[in-house]
């Protein structure tokens, strides 16, 4: 079985690297390398945005979370789905319009241009925030790749991490944003195929083997068969907010997602993107949730030393080799799409926001593209080092990054878009408080009570409001 699957993986790697290389043959300037130069259709950007937003966390982390918690895991899916719909319906067009209006390529640069009194400082603190958390985000994806190689081929996790790093760096290195989006589009379809096909096959298996989901939920553990996890009173609120809180990270603060909005050509392309993104989200999260529920009926709790390997085990147990290889490649696709997008975000912040804008280096487009490519290699190697030395769970690491970046920058974007009194001091206070409080919060037992995905958003929001009122800008630009 492993030989057939291995061949399919090799073919898959060759195809996506080939696509990335072909896009590099386009005449690339710095703007095209960083944000695509308005050359991409809305449907392709939507597929890319969805694949980037979900990553190995959806296929490995969320399915494992549902397997380990039961029906209450639905609130994670509801929170995320609500956030995605809000971002596409309310924020996507605004991002596109603002990007065109201010001629910007990155989220940090947009905030710097809007609050020009502290532009350089804003670029620095935003870049530091993004780079700090995204290094670990990339590492989490590579760790997921290691788990997949171990489960599928019994290959040492470290070897799997190195292989995945090479492929991920290659897809971003050749054509930048263009190659990332086009390879994302293919891989997004592969992810969706895995999440739609596997639960159908799993439920057929349960039916033919007289396995009852209701009975399994009742015996799996306390609260598994309850939509509220079997808790009452105040604990219901804690469970709801902890699971639903992924919603807050989708409100404009994830630069790898907002970049897709900024790259949209016009409103017609935005409408295409909205349709594709919403349909993809409903199909993907319904499938992932059902996979976790079906796994509860198929396997005993404690079967897996790592619950985040539930999905690949199900594929290997239920599918013939040639189909299993395709569906397992869908997991790898999820890993690659997010990791290469994270590389592009950090790269664009370094080359565009720091080197080009803040330091004011007078470089030609070709030189900026070269710097971007070397940054991709450097960030990729750091992410690999983190993956090789970290023992943190994929779900947990992504959760922290989601709080540190999304929970911090989402209130900053919402206030920039919709509150005219938001000031430079307020923006800086939002970013600094979100960064510091996320690190403090996850270092204490508080994160086990109320997740930092929730607390960071509101702490950053309150600091932003307070400092905007205390230290208003002398002259406020138009919104």
Question: Greatest CA separation found in the chain?
Answer: 71
Mean pLDDT of 305-325: 88
Specify the DSSP element, H or E, that contains 76. helix 74-86
- Helix 107-114 and helix 119-153: axis angle, to 10°? 160
| pLDDT score, position 6 | 85
Q: Predicted confidence band at 435 (pLDDT cuts at 50, 70, 90)?
A: very high
- Across the range 103-129, mean pLDDT stands at 92
Share of the chain above pLDDT 70, in %: 94
Residue of 71, 78, 77, 66 lying closest to 292 (CA atoms): 66
How crowded is residue 86: how many other Cβ atoms within 10 Å of its Cβ? 14
The pLDDT, as a whole number, for residue 236 is 66
Span 303-321, mean pLDDT? Answer: 88
How far is residue 364's CA from residue 447's CA, in Å, rounded to a whole number?
Answer: 46
Please say whether the beta carbons of 38 and 194 come within 8 A. Answer: no
Please state the separation of Cα 47 from the chain's center in Å: 13
pLDDT at 127 over 80: yes
**In whole angstroms, how far apart are CA 388 and each of 124, 141, 144, 156, 342?**
28, 11, 11, 11, 18
- For the chain, list the domains and their CATH numbers: 2-392 (1.20.1730.10)
Q: How confident is the model over 442-468, as a mean pLDDT?
A: 89
DSSP string, 392-441: --HHHHHHHHIIIIIIHHHHHHHHHHH-TT--HHHHHHHHHHHHHHHHHH
Between the two ends of the chain, the Cα-to-Cα distance in Å is: 58
Q: What is the rounded average pLDDT of the residues 57-67? A: 88
For residues 334 and 16, the model is more confident at: 16
User: pLDDT (tens digit, 9 = 90+) per residue, 397-418?
Assistant: 666 777 889 999 999 999 999 9
Q: What is the pLDDT of residue 477?
A: 46
Helices of type H across 209-320 = 213-220, 234-244, 255-262, 267-298, 310-318
Average pLDDT for 351-368: 84
pLDDT tens figures, 443-452: 888 877 888 8
């Amino acid at each position: 079985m492993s030989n057939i699957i291995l061949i399919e993986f090799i073919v898959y790697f060759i195809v996506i690297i080939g696509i990335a290389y072909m896009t590099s043959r386009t005449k690339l300037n710095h703007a095209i390398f960083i944000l695509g130069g308005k050359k991409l259709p809305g449907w392709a950007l939507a597929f890319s945005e969805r694949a980037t937003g979900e990553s190995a966390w959806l296929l490995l982390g969320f399915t494992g979370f549902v397997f380990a918690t039961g029906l209450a895991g639905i609130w994670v899916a509801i929170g995320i789905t609500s956030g995605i719909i809000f971002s596409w319906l309310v924020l996507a067009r605004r991002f596109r319009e603002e990007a065109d209006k201010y001629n910007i390529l990155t989220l940090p640069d947009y905030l710097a241009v809007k609050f020009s009194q502290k532009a350089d400082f804003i670029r620095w603190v935003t870049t530091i925030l993004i780079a700090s958390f995204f290094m670990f985000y990339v590492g989490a994806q590579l760790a997921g790749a290691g788990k997949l190689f171990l489960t599928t081929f019994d290959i040492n996790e470290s070897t799997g991490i190195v292989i995945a790093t090479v492929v991920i760096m290659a897809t971003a290195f050749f054509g930048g944003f263009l190659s990332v989006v086009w390879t994302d589009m293919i891989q997004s379809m592969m992810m969706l195929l895995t999440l739609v096909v596997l639960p159908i096959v799993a439920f057929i298996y349960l039916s033919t083997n007289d396995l009852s989901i209701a009975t399994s939920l009742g015996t799996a553990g306390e609260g598994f068969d309850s939509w509220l996890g079997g808790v009452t009173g105040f604990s219901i609120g804690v469970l709801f907010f902890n699971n639903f809180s992924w919603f807050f990270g989708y409100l404009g603060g994830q630069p790898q997602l907002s970049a897709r909005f900024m790259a949209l050509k016009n409103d017609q392309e935005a409408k295409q993107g909205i349709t594709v993104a919403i349909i993809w989200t409903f199909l993907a999260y319904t499938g992932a949730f059902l996979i976790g529920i079906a796994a509860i009926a198929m396997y005993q709790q404690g079967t897996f030393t790592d619950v985040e390997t539930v999905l690949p085990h199900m594929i290997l147990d239920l599918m013939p080799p040639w189909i299993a290889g395709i569906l397992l490649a869908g997991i790898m696709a999820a890993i690659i799409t997010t990791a290469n997008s994270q590389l592009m975000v950090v790269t664009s912040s370094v080359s565009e926001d720091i080197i080009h804008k803040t330091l004011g280096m007078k470089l030609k487009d070709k030189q900026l593209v070269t710097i971007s490519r070397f940054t991709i290699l450097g960030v990729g190697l750091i992410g690999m080092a983190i993956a090789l030395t970290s023992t943190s769970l994929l779900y947990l690491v992504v959760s922290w990054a989601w709080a540190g970046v999304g929970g911090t920058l989402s209130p900053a974007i919402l206030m920039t878009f919709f509150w005219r009194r938001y000031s430079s001091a307020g923006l800086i206070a939002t970013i600094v408080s979100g960064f510091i409080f996320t690190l403090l919060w996850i270092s204490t037992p508080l994160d086990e009570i109320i997740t930092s995905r929730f607390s960071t958003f509101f702490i950053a929001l309150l600091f932003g409001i307070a400092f905007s009122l205390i230290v208003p800008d002398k002259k406020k630009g138009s919104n």
